[in-house]
Structure 1
């Protein structure tokens, strides 16, 4: 694979308890090159309608539009393609919050939780503008380009998942048959990024590019201050700490990329997704599921398991259901997490929570039922093995998965 990442197109709410979507960054073209996010039916070439805003908010929007480079849309599009930002099931859930509409999928506790994140918003147009300018990608992009593994890293709003995730990462590296020494585990904190003009300014300078006629740092930091002022004007956004900004987890790799950017292989886990899973009663098992799913993407990267005859949504669904299966195989294996029956059910529910029914989207990860089925099947593979101490080689597990895939997707054959 090339630069590959399991990431949201704009970020925020919905991936497998294992989450994330993986695709080549150069070919972030699993959905095609993104321009700017279309908001409320408006063209990405024109700013969001600010009519009805209070004068102070409208003034901020006008300043942002004036401070951006004239060609920011094409710059952002190029950046998305370069780094592999594209749609994922997280963004599908986020979109259902920002632009509500009928969903063909059954509701889950996680989507209900997501709906609550913007309750009480005073100015919906602020959300539309942030979406329009790529604001729900900022914290994730910071973790991608500036984050690094460190003993000082904390996972979760209060660091409550730090020990669990760092220990899990070590176990996963021992379990799978890949060269995993260089895979870093990196946190994503929205409040830290979206309250710092310097950190956000660095993100904006990369995402939008610097106008040649202005000093890069001055331009980027000035724009960041204006965006921070906009975020702070809406209390529901909690100064950038609202989980909607970090409701994501993703895996990134430049394995085999002829034009590497020099970013290390990594797994990024956002505070928001951990908060979401805790809110629906899965805070015990879901973090392990998230990490095991994202690590499975790295197995896919190194073993070239993204290659298949499938295309479009079916191709994405295959790789995501495979990551669910690989993740659950590890979680239930005697030499993995060896989950008991009660915790296994929670793990399977975690995958169910983030299914989607976007059958025509290249961000389609599989329906809740398909994700649950994939996870349940893998648990059976681990639990029914005659030699409980033997770990299947990843290519053998893939062989079994490919044979089972038609049965796994059959319950929701419309997808």
Structure 2
């Protein structure tokens, strides 16, 4: 595990964003980078790496480099991936991954519910900061979609991933729902897939 990206300014800005995601989703995972030499990735695990954490989020250095080379709000694209992973931490903490993943051949429902939670964070952030480029969340997850619908690791098609972000965003931004209401909506959404 690598504690910092190497860019002090970015690390400070990301720390503030991660604190906001933690507050919104009511989770407190540990966070670090790792060498994703075997493929661009970020992931969440229920394994606790720090005392009193709800789990751990690891962000690949190569994925970080790719996202930061983007043209439109690259730091927001990083936040989108982090919010998705924090969504998994919420699932682990509340046992939601077991509910929505039960009996499924792929991880799609679990992944799209994590996208929903990332969208919920984007909606809350847009309410707090009207100029926040929330659409970057949907575009980021859209680009990580896949069409390998029979693969056990299938995360959802690009369209499904973008739509999951949008649904979560609507629950926060337009409907102004609480986190507990958003969790119920996310369960209903995932179970309908």
The separation in 1 between residues aligned to 2:184 and 2:88, in whole angstroms, is: 16
| More contact order relative to length (CA 8 Å, sep ≥ 6) | 1
Deviations 1:162-208 (A, max 9, x none): 12221122222222234x2xx211122x4xxxxxxxxxxxxxxxxxx
Contact 1:166-1:185 within 8 A present in 2 as well: no
Q: How does 1:126-165 map to 2 (within 5 A)?
A: 143=1, 153-155=3-5, 158-159=7-8, 161-165=10-14
User: Could you tell me which residue of structure 2 aligns to residue 113 of structure 1?
Assistant: none
Aligned pair partner of 1:169 in 7, 15, 18: 18
Gap change, CA 1:310 and 1:267, over 3 Å in 2: same
1:64-83 aligned at under 5 Å gives the runs: none
Aligned ranges for residues 73-222 of structure 1 at < 5 Å?
143=1, 153-155=3-5, 158-159=7-8, 161-178=10-27, 180=28, 183-188=29-34, 190=35
- What is the Cα deviation at residue 268 of structure 1? 1.1
| Residue equivalent to 1:403 | 188
1:33-44 pair list within 5 angstroms: none
What is the rounded CA distance, in whole Å, between the counterparts of 1:162 and 1:334 in structure 2?
A: 19
Of the three residues 325, 338, 341, the one matched with 2:116 is 325
Structure 2 counterpart of 1:365: 155
Residue deviations 1:356-392 (CA, integer Å, cap 9, x gap): 111111111000000001111111111212xx4x632
Q: Under a length normalisation based on structure 2, what TM-score does the superposition of the two structures give? A: 0.82
CA RMSD of aligned residues (A): 2.6
Q: Does residue 377 of structure 1 match 2:167?
A: yes
Report the alpha carbon displacement of residue 337 of structure 1 after superposing the two structures with TM.
Answer: 6.0
CA 1:290–1:336 in structure 2 vs 1: closer, same or farther (change >3 Å)?
farther
Cα contact 2:127–2:173 (8 A) shared by 1:
no
Please report how far the alpha carbon of residue 335 of structure 1 lies from its aligned counterpart in structure 2 after TM superposition. 8.2
SS at match of 1:267: strand
> Does structure 1 retain, via aligned residues, the 8 Å contact 2:44–2:88?
yes
Write out per-residue CA displacement over residues 46-66 of structure 1, whole angstroms, 9 at most, x where no aligned residue: xxxxxxxxxxxxxxxxxxxxx
**Comparing both structures, which one devotes a greater share of its residues to helix?**
2
> Is the alpha carbon distance of 1:158 and 1:299 closer, same or farther for their aligned partners in structure 2, counting shifts above 3 Å?
same
Please say which of residues 344-353 and 166-175 is displaced more in the overlay.
166-175
Could you tell me which residue of structure 1 aligns to residue 40 of structure 2? 247
Measured at CA, do residues 404 and 184 of structure 1 come closer, stay the same or move farther in structure 2, by a change above 3 Å?
Answer: closer
Q: Name the CA distance, whole Å, in 2 between partners of 1:293 and 1:323.
A: 5
Q: How many residues align?
A: 186
Are positions 1:311 and 2:104 aligned together?
yes
- Aligned to 2:44, the other structure's residue is in SS state strand
CA 1:167–1:367: 2 relative to 1, 3 Å: same
Q: Is the 8 A contact 1:245 1:272 kept in 2?
A: no
How far has the Cα of 1:350 moved from its partner?
A: 0.4
Q: In the TM superposition, what are the counterparts of 1:260-275 in structure 2 within 5 Å?
A: 263-264=49-50, 265-275=55-65
Structure 1 residue runs of 5 or longer lacking an equivalent are: 1-142, 148-152, 191-242, 255-261, 410-415
| Superposed displacement of residue 263, structure 1 | 3.9
* Secondary structure of the corresponding residue to residue 377 of structure 1: helix
TM-score of the aligned structures, taking structure 1 as reference length = 0.41
